[in-house]
Chains A and B, each alone.
Chain A
Amino acid sequence: MLEAVAQNLVFGILLGALYGLAAVGIAMVFGVTKFLNVAHGELLMFGGYACYWLFNLLDLDPFLSLPLTILFLLLIGVILYQLLFVRMVKLPEEEKIKNTMLIGFGLTLILQNTALLLWTADDRGITTSYSGAAFTLLGVRFPYVRVVGLVISLVCLFALQQFLRRTYTGKAIRATVEDWEAASLVGIDIHKVYLISFLLGTALAGVAGALVSVSYSVEPSMGMHWTLKSLIVMVLGGVGNFMGTFVGGILLGATESATAFLIGGNYRQVVGLVLFLLILIFRPQGLFGTKER
């Protein structure tokens, strides 16, 4: 009994790390640019497919092909940004959020149905020679691929944090979040900052998608589900605090498994949504966020 509970929790946490990673991507974009890209889940789906095809057609190991997946997503990101999102930069904040959300919905339709046409509605997952392997600790199974997924998520998070803290561009991004007008007055190129933040978001979506396709599976209509999860986690953790966001993801994963275990798998999705609404209503700054200035 105890082992079953622990097993459930571990699986929940491992899945939650991917929620966290996906959410850090959407929060990165939203925090800096105030673009609410609701097609984030679709970008994640494309990342998953990229990884899947690299493995199936070129026999590339899904973990080693991550740079290629990222490259592919960056390409999509640049196209989307230059074609659509760049027009939103100058709008006032409220309008910006609303319009990017609407554009995001249009993109959802486009990307989801493109994937459906290209790759059919089949569920696809990557099965490597080591996919089934796991180590056991205290009677709890840890599948290698999922643990590596957690590690890669943490590495991405750490790299992102160092980038924002130590590099010039990272500092420019943080300055823009604080006050974009002041930032542009001291010579920071706002357009560049926005583009880089947007691309960081798409790249993170790509990594998350690749990890999903290795440990679970991908299909064209998964986007909405992942966008919702990312939004839930972003709100859970509070915007502008990536560590908090990531922990929020793990928390959601764990809560979901607990619900699946106690009430039944059918209500997995509901508990996250209920949690989300409660937090929105009673603690809009997020679990780990600080109150707005």
Chain B
Amino acid sequence: MRSLQIIFIVLLIIILACLPMVIEKDSTINLVILIFLYIILASSWNILGGYTGQTSLGHAAFFGMGALATRLLWTRGFPILPSILAGGLLAVVFALLIGAPAFRLKGVYFAIGTLALAQILNVTVGNVLPEIAALPVEELTAYQLMPRYYLFLGLTIIVVGGAYALVNSRFGLGMMAVREQEEAAESLGVSALQHKLLALGISAFFTGLAGGAFAYYHVSYYFQFTFTPVWSLDMLTMVYIGGTGTILGPIIGAVFFVVLKEFLVLNVGEYHLIIFGVLFVLVVLFLPGGIVSAWKKIRDAFIRRAKLDGNKLSRR
């Protein structure tokens, strides 16, 4: 990383950390929290889906597991941070349990298999815990937005930073090699299964942490809600809109997703999901690299033009 980038990132974090002191309105803070949540989710999904090439449609299961464990522990008197950690770890245990059989499935069967797994959990949790996860009165009266905000900010930094460190490590290169061509990677001594499992584990851990933070943040929701397939599809949508297999892609995708959704809900109401569907289809058809690649294309076009102009000048 160039020092300019580091300065920019540090500045951005400082600004985000000071944001609640400037902004009075709770609704704006809530919107920023939502953006953090979706950045975490998209970045986590991207580790497995974008960098390792395993399209998962079952990440709602990890999110739900994290939320469930955290909520149950926390409302029974455990401190919140260990509870969230426990949620993340439970998601990992579950991910590794299903990982070994799921990775015997290739490509599309993996995608459908994970969807099926998440649906099994979704239905089962809905049957076993049909009630609303409401907060106990003492927690409700003590509820404050600030600790939630900083928790989400911290998690966002950890997850994005973690993803960055991971993909720039030797292991990250292995993951990408597995994505590009499994056989070739294997022949060079990169164990495909090992890399996939670790990518899945880390991805699930981060998603589980996000679930835990969600359980700490949301006052009341159905236990089943965090297991619904919408979460998995949202993660996939954001990453594809932003750009798969990049660090910036999921961040841009998440910001774009939340802000546009908010804007559309306010302005066109019921039509917003249709517009989202159309948008998503358009991105898949015409912008396979997401917004990040569009930016690159525009920049390259500018550079090329600048070079052409330069050539013209020098020819004179």
Contact = CB atoms under 8 A, between A and B. Distances in A.
A270 B120 contact: yes
Given A269-B119, A273-B116, A107 B109 contact: no
Nearest to B270: A117
A84 B273 CA distance: 19
B119 A228 contact: yes
B127 interface: yes
A267 to B, nearest CB: 7
A274 interface: yes
B284 interface: yes
Contacts, number: 93
Interface string B98-140: 0001001101110111011101100110110000000000000
Given A113-B270, A266-B123, A280-B109, A224 B229 contact: yes
Contact of A281 (B55, B105, B233): B105
Contacts of A266: 123, 126-127
B127 A267 contact: yes
Interface residues of A, number: 37
Contacts of A103: 281, 284-285
A97 B107 contact: yes
A94 interface: yes
B261 to A, nearest CB: 12
Nearest to B130: A266
Contact of B284 (A97, A102, A281): A102
A27 to B, nearest CB: 13
Interface in A96-140: 97-99, 101-103, 105-110, 112-114, 116-117
A108 B57 CA distance: 15
Interface of B: 55, 101, 104-105, 107-109, 111-113, 115-117, 119-120, 123-124, 126-127, 229, 233, 236-237, 240, 270-271, 273-274, 276-278, 280-281, 284-285
10 contacts: A36-B108, A97-B107, A107-B277, A109-B274, A269-B123, A273-B116, A274-B120, A276-B116, A277-B117, A284-B105
